[in-house]
């Protein structure tokens, strides 16, 4: 059975930790992010987190129902960082491109946390705000609701899928990651054009591109495809839910 989370007003009356800090959700999440960076997901336990905070591990459950609840809060924190200081400029493709790149970068700044959270649905405030923002951009641009939802779905899943993929690579031990990156020159570039003519013909281009994320290119393809579905040139203006062709 899930533990009862203590209301925020009651948490504030708690005494400082041994390190002199007053516990809060934000402090716990930020400390958990640091622990993930230093020790990976296997190093994030209630006991270790309590030690890092200078608090009894049981105190964490005044703020989170479980360690999984904390995981969702970490994911929501990454989304919140992507949204911080972002403002729509009124051109829907540019706005979505910047937002997508911000989400991707926020997760890659914390690869261990990204591997743990990119596939989760948090249902928390900042995730909900991001969803509302993306849908608002699309509906205001003139996409009908079914098309807006399909594009939103593709946009969000694409950003998070690339975040998980790229973060998993960054989370590898340095030697393993370096070996993967060398593979395009040590193996692919040496394949014979007689047996692998297409790889041999593009080996130089592959080596130049494949160690970089394909997300920016994939995002542009998605947004270009979406733009072609509008019945008129996209200007960033329009009536929410106005009729348009579906994807």
pLDDT, one tens digit for every residue, the chain (247 residues): 445 555 555 554 355 655 556 899 999 999 999 999 988 888 899 999 999 999 999 999 999 999 999 999 999 999 999 999 999 999 999 999 999 999 999 999 999 999 999 999 999 999 999 999 999 999 999 999 999 999 999 999 999 999 999 999 999 999 999 999 999 999 999 999 999 999 999 999 999 999 999 999 999 999 999 999 987 654 554 444 444 433 3
The CA distance from 115 to 166, in Å, is: 9
3-state secondary structure of 179: helix
The answer to whether 55 touches 18, Cβ cutoff 8 Å, is yes
φ and ψ at 223, to 5 degrees? -70, -35
Q: Print burial letters for 130-153: b (CB count within 10 Å at least 16), e (below 16).
A: beebbbebbbbbbbbbebbbbbbe
Task: Give the pLDDT of residue 41.
Answer: 84
Task: Give the pLDDT of residue 22.
Answer: 82
In SS3 terms, 10-74 reads as HHCCCCCCCCCCCCCHHHHHHHHHHHHHHHCHHHCCHHHHHHHHCCCHHHHHHCCCCHHHHHHHH
**Per-residue pLDDT tens over the stretch 1-36:** 445 555 555 554 355 655 556 899 999 999 999 999
The CA distance from 120 to 141, in Å, is: 28
- Of 24, 23, 43, which Cα lies nearest the Cα of 33? 43
Task: Give the pLDDT of residue 210.
Answer: 95
Q: Which two tokens stand for residue 79?
A: 């989304």
Task: Enumerate the domain spans of the chain.
Answer: 1-65, 87-247
List for the chain the helix, strand, coil content (%; round to 5).
65, 0, 35
pTM of the model: 0.82
The CATH number corresponding to 87-247 among 3.30.479.20, 3.40.50.140, 1.10.1060.10, 1.10.357.10 equals 1.10.357.10
CA angle 191, 193, 198 (to 5 degrees): 90
- CATH 3.40.640.10 for the 1-65 domain, yes or no: no
Task: Give the pLDDT of residue 13.
Answer: 38
**Per-residue pLDDT tens over the stretch 89-109:** 999 999 999 999 999 999 999
The CA distance from 139 to 31, in Å, is: 38
The answer to whether 12 touches 63, Cβ cutoff 8 Å, is no
- Same fold yes or no, 1-65 and 87-247: no
Q: Which two tokens stand for residue 62?
A: 């005044």
- Give the residue carrying structure tokens 């946009």: 155
The CA distance from 179 to 185, in Å, is: 10
3-state secondary structure of 107: helix
């Amino acid at each position: 059975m899930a533990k009862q989370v203590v209301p925020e007003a009651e948490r504030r009356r708690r005494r400082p930790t041994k390190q002199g800090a007053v516990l809060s959700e934000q402090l716990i999440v930020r400390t958990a992010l640091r622990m993930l960076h230093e020790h990976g997901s296997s190093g994030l336990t209630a006991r270790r987190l309590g030690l890092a905070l200078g608090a009894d591990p049981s105190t964490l459950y005044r703020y989170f129902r479980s360690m999984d609840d904390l995981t969702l809060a970490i994911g929501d924190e990454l989304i919140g960082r992507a949204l911080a200081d972002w403002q729509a400029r009124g051109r829907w493709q540019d706005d979505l491109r910047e937002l997508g790149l911000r989400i991707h970068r926020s997760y890659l700044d914390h690869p261990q946390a990204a591997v743990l959270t990119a596939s989760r649905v948090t249902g928390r405030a900042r995730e909900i705000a991001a969803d509302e923002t993306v849908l608002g951009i699309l509906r205001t641009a003139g996409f009908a609701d079914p098309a807006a939802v399909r594009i939103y779905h593709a946009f969000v899943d694409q950003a998070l899928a690339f975040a998980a993929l790229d973060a998993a690579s960054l989370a590898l031990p340095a030697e393993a990651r370096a070996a993967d990156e060398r593979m395009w020159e040590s193996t692919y570039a040496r394949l014979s054009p007689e047996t692998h003519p297409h790889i041999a013909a593009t080996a130089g281009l592959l080596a130049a591109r494949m160690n970089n994320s394909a997300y920016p290119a994939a995002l542009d393809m998605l947004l270009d495809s979406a733009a072609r579905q509008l019945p008129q040139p996209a200007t960033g203006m329009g009536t929410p839910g106005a009729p348009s062709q579906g994807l």
